[in-house]
């Protein structure tokens, strides 16, 4: 705004001098006006770049991070509730209810909706998309295993239920949860990196602008003073 006012004043001053002195060009004021216009265009370009980088930082970074953090929290909560249903042996209905709430929040009914579906729809980076695709598959498989755990536990097959929950096989819910969490962390790291990169780029767009505007301000002042001085000398 200050630069825009300065440009206006400089052109007004030149217009006045043209009428008062019949001199079409005042070199000092022309230099000052040119410097002011350059400063104005430079500022506009820098602020546009900052806006674009910050918008990318939000869409590719912070917005996705917020959803992914919530998804990871829901996954941890679901895993804790699933484990507690087995720990209390026959008295875990409240934990099962909490599990269903957390699992539905995480992936919806089929594992591809909820927070995972929201994060997948927001993803712009191919590596984040791949990580979330893997996370969704792990969630879907986990939901299937969880139903087997509950069926086994309800049928009195406690040892089989525990093995399906904490066993070392690739199909245990513990392994599938670890796979889900690993992919969520991978997506989070990529989104955070994107945010930091875009935020850094936004800051870089202003690095040269700050000292540049100081130099331009000094140039405007010196050139304007010199131009007006030249006109005053003609009357001495």
The backbone region for 26, taken as left when phi is positive above 0, alpha when psi lies in -120 to 50, beta otherwise, is: beta
Between CA 135 and CA 116 the distance in angstroms is 8
Q: Where are the domains of the chain?
A: 2-233
pTM score of the predicted model:
0.77
Rg (CA), the chain: 32
Comparing 1-10, 91-100, 145-154, which segment has the lowest mean pLDDT?
1-10
pLDDT digits (tens, 9 = 90+) for 131-185: 999 999 999 999 999 999 999 988 889 899 889 988 888 989 999 999 999 999 9
Residues 185, 128: contact at Cβ < 8 Å?
A: no
The structure tokens listed for 66 are 């917020």
């Amino acid at each position: 705004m200050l630069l825009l006012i300065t440009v206006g004043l400089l052109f007004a001053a030149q217009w006045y001098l043209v009428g008062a002195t019949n001199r079409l060009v005042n070199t000092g004021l022309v230099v000052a006006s040119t410097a002011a216009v350059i400063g104005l265009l430079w500022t506009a370009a820098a602020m546009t770049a900052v806006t674009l980088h910050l918008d990318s930082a939000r869409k590719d970074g912070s917005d996705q991070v917020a959803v992914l953090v919530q998804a990871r929290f829901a996954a941890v909560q679901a895993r804790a509730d699933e484990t507690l249903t087995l720990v209390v042996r026959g008295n875990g209905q409240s934990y099962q209810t909490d599990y269903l709430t957390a699992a539905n929040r995480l992936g919806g009914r089929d594992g591809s909706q909820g927070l995972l579906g929201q994060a997948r729809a927001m993803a712009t980076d191919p590596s984040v998309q791949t990580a979330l695709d893997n996370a969704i598959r792990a969630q879907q498989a986990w939901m299937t295993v969880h139903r087997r755990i509950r069926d086994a536990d309800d049928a009195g097959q406690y040892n089989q239920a525990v093995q399906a929950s904490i066993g070392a096989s690739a199909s245990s819910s513990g392994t599938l949860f670890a796979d889900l969490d690993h992919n969520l962390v991978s997506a989070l790291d990529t989104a955070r990196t994107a945010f930091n990169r875009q935020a850094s780029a936004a800051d870089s767009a202003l690095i040269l602008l700050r000292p540049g505007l100081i130099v331009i301000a000094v140039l405007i002042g010196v050139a304007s003073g010199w131009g007006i001085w030249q006109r005053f000398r003609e009357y001495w």
